[in-house]
Amino acid sequence: MSTAQICPSILAADFLKLQEQVQAAERGGALRFQVDVMDGVFVPNISFGMPLVAAMRRATNTLLEAHLMIVQPDRYLEEFARAGADLIIVHQEAAAYGLDRSIQHIKQLGKKAGVALCPATPVHVLDEIVEDLDLVLVMTVNPGFGGQKFIGYTLRKIRQMREMLDARNPQCEIEIDGGVDQQTIRAAYEAGARVFVAGTSVFGYAGGPEAGVQSLIEAAQGM
């Protein structure tokens, strides 16, 4: 079974020590990071935007994801690409001009394309487009805040997503986001997830980000 990839979400980081924390997470084994972009409309919270993607681009050479929890994401795809995102994730629920248009636009910008699904959105909404995706992000909380509780019914959805991708696009990654910690990660790994966005359990980990990432990798593998 392939190794779990931990994708620290900077929403939970200490912005006064961001580069230091990113480097610590990398030492722990983080191979990618996520910038959780929130507009206060699609989700009931406002976080940050392109400037922080640009700052993260300077802080790490690893794969950089921009998770756009915003309405009408098409308006900003070029700016997030220019800021340095390698992989841009739009929400199926927010792709106002049509999800296919957003995915093709991201690819025309030379970036990997991901789609995020809120917990109650069924996987079959991806039926027509699943072959075009580089990543599917199955939200395991309702997006908007860090530190929430993992929603248990999403495990069934992860298994459904795994089955769909095994049959139609085995190269596409399954990522999950929200409430991922040393207790919840193993069940999600067994359900088929391989990329784990984690904020609180990395940057809020008592032993620091390096140990937080290491402990999540071990927990995912059942060690």
Residues within window 96-115 making contact with ligand DX5, judged by CB under 6 A: none
- Which of 14, 100, 127, 177 is the catalytic position? 177
Binding to ligand DX5 by residue 28, rule CB under 6 A?
A: no
CA 38 from centre of chain? 13
C-alpha–C-alpha distance, residues 166 and 186, integer Å:
20
Binding to ligand DX5 by residue 154, rule CB under 6 A?
A: no
| Edge-first strand listing for the sheet containing 32-38 | 5-8, 195-198, 173-177, 135-139, 112-117, 87-91, 63-69, 32-38
CA 94 from centre of chain? 16
Question: What are the residues whose beta carbons fall under 8 Å from the beta carbon of 128, sequence distance 6 or more?
Answer: 100
179 vs 192 by CB, closer to ligand DX5: 179
Binding to ligand DX5 by residue 143, rule CB under 6 A?
A: yes
Q: Is 134 known to be catalytic?
A: no
Helix intervals (H) in the chain? 18-28, 50-59, 77-83, 99-108, 154-168, 185-191, 200-203, 209-220
What minimum distance in Å lies between the beta carbon of 140 and ligand DX5? 8
- Which of 36, 39, 134, 181 is the catalytic position? 36
12 vs 129 by CB, closer to ligand DX5: 12
C-alpha–C-alpha distance, residues 159 and 164, integer Å:
9
91 vs 105 by CB, closer to ligand DX5: 91
Interface region with ligand DX5, contact rule CB under 6 A, candidates 19-27, 86-94, 104-112, 174-182? 174-182
Mark residues 175-214: x for contact with ligand DX5 by CB under 6 A, - for none. Answer: --xxxx----------------xxxxx-------------
Q: Is 39 known to be catalytic?
A: no
* Strand-pair partners of 66: 35, 88
List interacting residues with ligand DX5 (CB under 6 A): 9, 11-12, 36, 141, 143-148, 177-180, 197-201
